[in-house]
Homo-oligomer: A and B are copies of this chain.
Amino acid sequence: MNSHRSDLLKAFIQQPEWSWTKEAQHEGRVHHWIENVNEWDGKKADAVLLGMPLSRSSISVSGASEYPDAFRKSWRGFSTFNLDEGVDLSSLSVLDLGNVMMHGTDILESHRRIQAATVEAAKRFNDSVTIGIGGDHSVTACAVRGLKEVYPDETIGILQLDTHLDLRDTSPNGPSNGTPIRQLIDGGAVKGEHVFNIGLHGYFNAPALISYAKEHRVNMITLKQARQKGITETVQAALAQLKQTTDRLYVTVDMDVLDIGFAPGVPASTPGGMTTQELFDALLVIGKDESLKHIDFVCLDPVKDTVGLPTVKAGVYSFLQVLTGMALAKRERGE
């Protein structure tokens, strides 16, 4: 193993500020089940998760940097058992790798660290599904570039659930949260035709970005179209197409794809978006799919959430839906 990387790991990965006191009485709850790890080597897991607490790269004010910790804090309210599907997630092993340590003012350095950490995680946990917890959407470009670094010969496909195209030009304002897909297409890491964006709706993408999307053959599937075909059917079709044309799937879930009535805690909440139920159904399908290797959840701003924390809870629920899908697939495979 590259020892420079190892130093980097020590330097740039940190444990959350606090950790759960695990007691027997909490058995069967998510916070008791997911395991914190300080050492990455020699570990095996079905999934690993990595916090990417960066949001100073957001165009508007965002507290998405607070989400990885708010996410962990909310685990306590969730059981490992999914009643709808009759499956206990504790049949999976899930490791919490901690957070990538962010720089206070050098955003590009933070981006480099996210990329480097993704490289390390992908290498050391190449049998695991990696789950990134943002942070704003700029982290996705870093993570995908990291994967491209590890798997230079593979074609990467992106399934994006988002209200926005994220195709803004980086020239005026750098690699902000409005730019990740543009960065990847312009940088050659991903082709436009290998991006499927499901959940676009309404009046939230400028005409110029739509022209760019068409020009680069980004697959734009509006929420209206998805509902006509069925949300889960639409996701399955996109996954099928990506499997045919690409080698490695990266799923990115911008929580602002949800309707403002269900998810007020995102910087750009909008009416006319997905219901939580639709998102949960979509993520179950994604979790079941054998091609799932990498997924992230971004742009959830707990600072903006309302008192009962509907958005943070929807974030944890979404994460667990992916794991439920994985557990069902594992059961089906007889593992």
A: residues with CB less than 8 A from B are 14-21, 23, 25, 27-30, 55-57, 59, 61-63, 65-66, 76-84, 88, 90, 103-108, 138, 172-176, 200-208, 210, 220, 222-225, 259-262, 264, 268-272, 276-277, 280, 303-304, 306-308, 310, 313-314, 317, 320
Contacts and interface: CB of A to CB of B under 8 A. Distances in A.
A66 B77 contact: no
Given A78-B204, A222-B83, A61 B57 contact: no
A203 B80 contact: yes
A131 B203 CA distance: 19
A206 B78 CA distance: 8
A269 B310 contact: yes
Given A17-B21, A84-B222, A105-B107, 20 more contacts: A15-B21, A18-B19, A18-B21, A27-B206, A28-B206, A30-B203, A79-B207, A82-B203, A83-B200, A83-B220, A84-B202, A84-B225, A88-B207, A259-B262, A260-B262, A261-B261, A261-B262, A270-B317, A271-B276, A304-B308
A31 B265 CA distance: 25
19 contacts: A15-B21, A30-B203, A57-B104, A78-B204, A79-B206, A81-B205, A88-B207, A90-B207, A104-B173, A104-B174, A104-B176, A106-B108, A260-B313, A269-B313, A270-B317, A271-B314, A272-B317, A304-B307, A306-B307
A18 B310 CA distance: 22
Contacts of A17: 20-21, 76
A24 to B, nearest CB: 11
Nearest to A102: B173
A271 B317 contact: yes
Contact of A77 (B21, B106, B268, B313): B268
B83 A202 contact: yes
The 6 closest A-B pairs by CB, nearest first: A104-B173, A105-B174, A56-B56, A28-B206, A61-B63, A78-B203
A101 to B, nearest CB: 10
A306 B264 contact: yes
A224 B108 CA distance: 43
A276 B271 CA distance: 7
Contacts of A280: 271-272
Contacts of A306: 264, 306-307
